[in-house]
Structure 1
Amino acid sequence: MFCLCFGAASHAQKPTASDQLVLSNVTVVDVRTGALHAEQTVVLEGNRIASVEPSKSAKHPRNAPIVNSRGLFLIPGLWDMHVHLVFGDWFPDARDISLPLFIANGVTGVRDMGSELDIVQAWRNEIAAGRLVGPRIYTSGPMLDGPRPRFPSSVAIATPEDAHRTVADLKRRGADFIKLQSLIPREAVFAIAEEARKQQIPFEGHVPDSVRASEMSETGMKSFEHLIGIFEGSSPNEDDFLKGDKTEGKFLATYDAARAAALAAILAKNQTWQCPTLVWERGGNLVDVSDFSKDTRVKYVPAAWKNKTWKRFTDEITQGYGTDDLDTRKQFIERELEVVQMLRKTGVPFLAGTDTPAGVHIFPGFSLHEELQRFVAAGFTPLDALQTATINPARFLGIEDQAGTVEKGKLGDLLLLSANPLEDIANTQKIAGVVVNGRYYSRAELDKMLSRVEIAADGPSSQGIK
């Protein structure tokens, strides 16, 4: 079963100064309440927070490394709850691109929603052993899809027997949850749910095209991605949409607020988490009119990603627009924000996720900050938005006693900011330092990390040269 590889400091002897890190005179942001605790000293021992105390009374060894954090704000490390780490061979060199980009952007944990399980597990072991810099990883391994999967890192599911066998096999191999895609036949969907309950492993992902969102919520699906199923279930034409021929124009034309509210009530009752990937929802709808040529983040992206995989996705997306013109797509983006706010007010819980790098020009690490801004655009307060990438992921993963807040005993995954994120959520991008598993990276070290990624992105293998 899933292990964050938390590690534990030995209690056989008192920690030495070299095992400790002191963040002095920092303002700690309480992501539960929004309270700001000024002039605090946070002491880490190994990979854990040993104490959080007022600086006037805090005690620590005089020769312990001290980071003077006066004027800085301390928040928990961020989580991107929808990424793809190893997507077949579609994103080469992700080990040297995505992993450090997450850390350089303060993303210290990820939920991997479809990858090559053995490779990701090996990376996770290397990270835990300190041989590789990267975030904590929670992974599904390969995605479950219909008889003819559209993407790599997928398992074809045609029958209930396929479903039972595959879920049991993934549990045996150490997958942390089951990821569903869109094309799974209806009978097989419910077989996946049945076997997942038997194996005591969560199932998450797309609401399959053959099933209603209300049904998936009632059967225990833990999270929905991309708002799939929400607009279908908010329309009197839901039965027709189950048969196909869905467009955003039709979603807009048939949207029924009463049906949407009824579905929201079901999701809230069952606490079915939503990971709407708003930055990608906007990006996909505007990909034909977006120009990233002058975006400074492009230098961190290998040519093979830009010229092969992203081009392929772009072609497929634009062909899929059908009769939906640009104005219709822009209206749909705004309606999505309205629906997200309605769901939140109804009590549906939310997670921040980006779909990086599968989403075109969705950049590992960087785009998570954009996702938080999209939540604010949907009517969330900066605190609400911050929770979707901190305490909410901890609650979702069942590790709130280990992560999600800056408190004694929690993991040493922290983000130092030069401005208050509760005043402006864009301030999460003003990164002064990152602590990962107790290891501190200064701004200068993070900049060097980014420089190495830029070099890796320009390397021969990243150009598709063998």
Structure 2
Amino acid sequence: MQNIKTKDQGREAVRKMVAKGVDYIKIYTNIPKNIALAIMDEAKNFDVPVVGHLTACIRAIDASNLGMKSMEHLNGIFIATSTIEEEFHLNAISLIGKMNTAGVPILAGSDSAFLMPNMIYGVALHYEPQLLVKAGLTPLKALQEATLNPAKYLNQEHELGTVEDWKIADLVIIKDNPLEDIKNRTLTSGVGFDGKLWIEISWINQLRHMILHQKLR
């Protein structure tokens, strides 16, 4: 992270990062508007995407038109689209629903830090799809926000994001169908990772019972 104070410093920082082979340039909320615009303009010259926190002085639509590829965290979008602080907290679900209806791509996931004691890496992602469904997304689309959409965002959908031949995939085994009830997403019984499979003993016994029952019928 660099402390940029002028537009020229912003452009120079972009050039330095590009020379190091970065995949993207990330900006933060407190950066002044004129510097943020200079950074976006310079990054566009090198075809390097700009991502990060939407600054308070730039509207979301303007940042998108300037080539900002992604805007992390809902808070930044609230700041840039409304001056009513109450909406900041009460209408998050409504805003997500409107974004989804408008065709705005959504990616699952958020920060986790000591300032957010209830946000735990991995655990929060189990429950985020429930909030997305509450906002109006279908269960399938809510699951794709954490699988297919990130692969598309990273331009790696040819090898990630779906379970297909010749694609790379770590698997989460779930006891019940999350497409019928998104809460089933939390009923994890096993994980397939790096060619190895870990499954709960109780679930293995249940599967054996189901298979035996089928054979006896």
TM-score, normalised via structure 1 length: 0.40
1:402 matched residue in structure 2? 159
1:159 matched residue in structure 2? 6
Using the TM superposition, give the Cα deviation of residue 410 of structure 1 relative to its aligned residue in structure 2, in angstroms.
0.5
Residues 412 and 437 of structure 1, relative CA distance in 2, 3 Å threshold: farther
Task: Please list every run of 5 or more consecutive structure 2 residues that lacks an aligned counterpart in the other structure.
Answer: 202-217
Q: Distance in 2 between matches of 1:208 and 1:234?
A: 11
1:220 matched residue in structure 2? 67
> Alpha-carbon deviations, 1:31-72, whole Å to 9, x = none?
xxxxxxxxxxxxxxxxxxxxxxxxxxxxxxxxxxxxxxxxxx
2:85 matched residue in structure 1? 248
> Alpha-carbon deviations, 1:248-301, whole Å to 9, x = none?
23xx4xxxxxxxxxxxxxxxxxxxxxxxxxxxxxxxxxxxxxxxxxxxxxxxxx
Using the TM superposition, give the Cα deviation of residue 194 of structure 1 relative to its aligned residue in structure 2, in angstroms.
1.8
Residues 418 and 248 of structure 1, relative CA distance in 2, 3 Å threshold: same
Partners of 1:413 and 1:436 within 8 A in 2: yes
2:125 to 368, 374, 380: 368
Partner of 2:74, secondary structure, is coil
Residues 172 and 414 of structure 1, relative CA distance in 2, 3 Å threshold: farther
> Alpha-carbon deviations, 1:67-119, whole Å to 9, x = none?
xxxxxxxxxxxxxxxxxxxxxxxxxxxxxxxxxxxxxxxxxxxxxxxxxxxxx
Using the TM superposition, give the Cα deviation of residue 184 of structure 1 relative to its aligned residue in structure 2, in angstroms.
1.0
Partner of 1:184, secondary structure, is coil
1:342 matched residue in structure 2? 98
Q: Whose relative contact order is higher, 1 or 2, with alpha carbons under 8 Å and at least 6 apart? A: 1
Q: Distance in 2 between matches of 1:377 and 1:405?
A: 24
Partners of 2:107 and 2:145 within 8 A in 1: yes
The question of 1:393 aligning with 2:130 is answered no
Relative to its length, the structure with more strand (as a share) is 1
Partners of 1:354 and 1:371 within 8 A in 2: no
2:191 matched residue in structure 1? 434
Q: Distance in 1 between matches of 2:80 and 2:44?
A: 25
Using the TM superposition, give the Cα deviation of residue 361 of structure 1 relative to its aligned residue in structure 2, in angstroms.
2.2
Partners of 2:54 and 2:77 within 8 A in 1: no
Q: Distance in 1 between matches of 2:155 and 2:61?
A: 24
TM-score, normalised via structure 2 length: 0.82
Q: Distance in 1 between matches of 2:75 and 2:90?
A: 16
Relative to its length, the structure with more helix (as a share) is 2
Task: Please list every run of 5 or more consecutive structure 1 residues that lacks an aligned counterpart in the other structure.
Answer: 1-153, 236-240, 242-246, 253-331, 445-466
2:210 matched residue in structure 1? none
Percent identity between matched residues is: 38
1:420 matched residue in structure 2? 177
Partner of 1:410, secondary structure, is coil
Q: Distance in 1 between matches of 2:171 and 2:31?
A: 39
